[in-house]
Amino acid sequence: MDRLKITGGKPLSGTIPISGAKNSALKLMAAALLTPEPLTLTNVPQLADTRFLSQLLQTLGVEVYWPKGDSTCRMNAESLTSTIAPYEQVRKMRASFNVLGPLLARYGHATVSLPGGCAIGARPVDLHLKAFEAMGADLVVEEGYVKAAAIRGLKGAHIVFPFVSVGATEHAMLAATLAEGETVLENAAREPEIADLADCLNAMGAKISGGGTATVTIQGVEKLHGTTHAVMPDRIEAGTYAMAVAAAGGDVTLTNAPVSALSALTGALRDAGVSVETDKQASTMRIVRNGSTLNAVSVDTAPHPGFPTDLQAQFMALMTLANGTSVIRENIFENRFMHAPELSRLGANIAVRGHEAIVKGVETLKGAPVMATDLRASVSLVIAALAAQGETEVNRIYHLDRGFERLEEKLSAVGADIRRVSDSEE
């Protein structure tokens, strides 16, 4: 099994290009099921998760042309051979569940396994299923599978989500594009990835307004056509590298960065004493910290435009070295502080109380063996290791491969001492 060996204490300097957004690419790939014409996505990140979904689409009969190392993925769902998404594939990644809505909308029936993914709380799919029921689908959950049917087609509906859900908003949008009549989604999630999905679907012939706002309106159409769409840059990757520079010190410019989508983080970094220069027109962020002390900053995770839950673990790693005490409140997912004990192995002072983590900054972290528990937690350990004295070994890095493209290559290019090793090499 692969692991990372990182020798910390080296400031970072140079340029890091930001890849396409994983969380956007996965839903855009599912959109290929809505049309018999080819959908071409550019700026697609080469990740374990995007490859998993590519394999699932091929299982359903989608022709996928995506050479290794290429950021352009071409998909053609002209004639599917199956509307059944099996457990063995869906269990690998939660986003695979999003094939249900497109299959149901286009073919009138689908059988999809309940999802898997990171162990960061229950994250039920109830809101997804209730949205489809509101659109007239008949649903049965049997033996771990959702069996859905809408023989006469989906119908437009007025859906008010009881709480903000990114996944349910995106999934309902996908299905509603081919529903008869108008669908209105209220209390919809406002993440930039939802606006990206709406832009792609509209380019395919959908009629969606309000994507990325609290109210999304979809006028159903009879069919969608193919298009070419560029996946938006990954704000979570950009935020992660920004915090890596803030922790390790140095001067790094992030290119192809979604500047406007990161205002909550950039504000917190500036409060912490980190220099952040942004250029929206050029899509660049320059992060500088050369010897200055970090200030403790408290954050509460919240739906966009609040502080992203997917950057919480990384920010906690940064705050372990801040002067003072910070309180980090996780309001989106339960059980998302699993990185705290691993950070403590490096010398961090963290006390977890329910959905709060109290972080008392220490002068230095020291390298130690640590274990990744989920995607974002794993990269928080990388950030801490880059700032720590000595060598840190990060185990279970298959979590990292799910969401960060060429992590070691990008960090090595700006001066980090980081390498991947496998058991066979030692």
Binding residue positions for UDP-N-acetyl-alpha-D-glucosamine = 94, 123-127, 310, 332
Show Cβ contacts of residue 420 under 8 Å, excluding neighbours closer than 6 positions: 2, 3, 4, 397, 408
Q: Please identify which of the residues 39, 118, 176, 372 carries the catalytic annotation.
A: 118
Contact call for residues 330 and 337 (beta carbons, < 8 A): yes
118 is a catalytic site residue: yes
Q: What are the φ and ψ backbone dihedral angles of 290, each rounded to 5 degrees? A: -120, 85
Exposure string of 115-125, with b = 16+ CB inside 10 Å and e = fewer, is bebbebeebeb
Kindly give the residue spans of alpha helices, DSSP state H, lying in 353-424: 375-387, 398-401, 407-413
Dist CA 173 CA 303 (whole Å) = 18
Q: Which helix (H) or strand (E) holds 179?
A: none
> Which residues are annotated as part of the binding site?
22-23, 94, 123-127, 310, 332
The CA–CA distances, whole Å, from 13 to 123, 127, 244, 249 equal 38, 45, 11, 9
> Which residues are annotated as part of the binding site for phosphoenolpyruvate?
22-23
Dist CA 24 CA 11 (whole Å) = 31
Dist CA 53 CA 35 (whole Å) = 17
Closest C-alpha to 145, from 177, 183, 111, 195: 111
Cis peptide before 124 (omega within 30 of 0): no
The CA–CA distances, whole Å, from 154 to 40, 179, 363, 379 equal 26, 5, 59, 41
Show Cβ contacts of residue 424 under 8 Å, excluding neighbours closer than 6 positions: none
Dist CA 251 CA 166 (whole Å) = 34
The catalytic site residues sit at 118
